[in-house]
Amino acid sequence: MSIESALPPEGGWHRRVLMLAIPIVLANLTQPILGAVDTAVAGHLGSAADLGGVALGGLFFNFVFWGFGFLRMGTTGLVAQAFGARNMDALRADVVRALLLAVAIGSVILVVQAPLIRHVIQLIGGSDAVQDNARVYCHARILSAPFALGNYVVLGYLLGAQRPRIALLTQVLINAVNAVAVVTYVYAFGWGLAGIGAATATADAIGFAFGMAVLWHVRPRGLPPLAWRTVSDTMALKKLVGMNRDIFLRTGRYVDH
């Protein structure tokens, strides 16, 4: 069979790229909605310091969580390589390694949350009242750190495996849960700023549970059980850490400029 006969008909690649790109763009556009909903509710609490606290807390999570955005980009690259090569064993192992890395980083964030929140909020600045409110918001929201970072891995897998519609559905679900939870926690339970942070944490946790269910549903069939020696393969771990390190440094340089 010639190369020409293996290619899609004229315009086929364009349609395929658009079918992949449009849901990806929409999924990325939904991500700022979490912060927008939090800010909108905080604006109705009656105090400028409340609104400032949520805004300052949002900056904190942009700094901390998005600093680990390499979990999404790195997973997308590795999964896309394995998916294109039809190497389902490598694909499964790459996702499991990335999930373990996300949970490990998230757990460390939880352990050091008190000094981390205190120092980063002080570094960003703001009045004493705004910083106090930001700390309340951050301590409630940061509880979902392993889930939030795990969602990066899930999103990376879905994009790398060319399932952008499911990625979009996952992002829509997270935003919908956040909207319902923030109204419930703030207005029904009266939790104030802590309720706003807890709502986003709830959305991250439910989104992660949904993502795990999706990964289980679309898992490659007919593979042998995944051995720990495969997950802990030294060369594969070095590749994962090295690639994520490079993406992290590149992202940091981009933010600085």
Residue 252, pLDDT score = 55
Task: Give residue 64's pLDDT.
Answer: 87
Instruction: Compute the mean pLDDT over every residue in the chain, rounded to the nearest whole number.
Output: 84
Instruction: List the structure tokens of 72.
Output: 């999404």
The encoded tokens of residue 36 equal: 């927008």
Q: Which domain holds residue 183?
A: 33-256
Q: How many CB atoms lie within 10 A of CB 33?
A: 16
Is residue 19 situated within a structural domain? no
The rounded distance, in Å, linking the Cα atoms of 102 and 222 is 27
**Dmax (CA) of the chain:** 71
> What's the whole-number mean pLDDT along residues 70-84?
87
* Position 114 in a domain: yes
Alpha helices for the chain (secondary structure H): 3-6, 12-30, 33-42, 48-64, 70-84, 88-111, 113-124, 128-141, 145-160, 164-183, 192-217, 228-231, 234-256
**pLDDT value for 24:** 67
DSSP-derived secondary structure letter, 221: S
Tell which wins on pLDDT, 108 or 15: 108
Does the predicted TM-score (pTM) go above 0.95?
A: no
What is the distance between the alpha carbons of residues 254 and 183, in angstroms, rounded to a whole number?
36
Q: Using 50, 70 and 90 to split pLDDT, how confident is the model at 8?
A: very low
Is residue 13 included in any domain, yes or no?
A: no
Query: Which of 196, 109, 204 lies closest to 147 in space, CA to CA?
Result: 204
In tens, the pLDDT along 226-238 reads: 888 777 777 877 7
| 24 domain-assigned | no
Domains held by the chain: number: 1
* Residue 92 lies inside a defined structural domain of this protein: yes
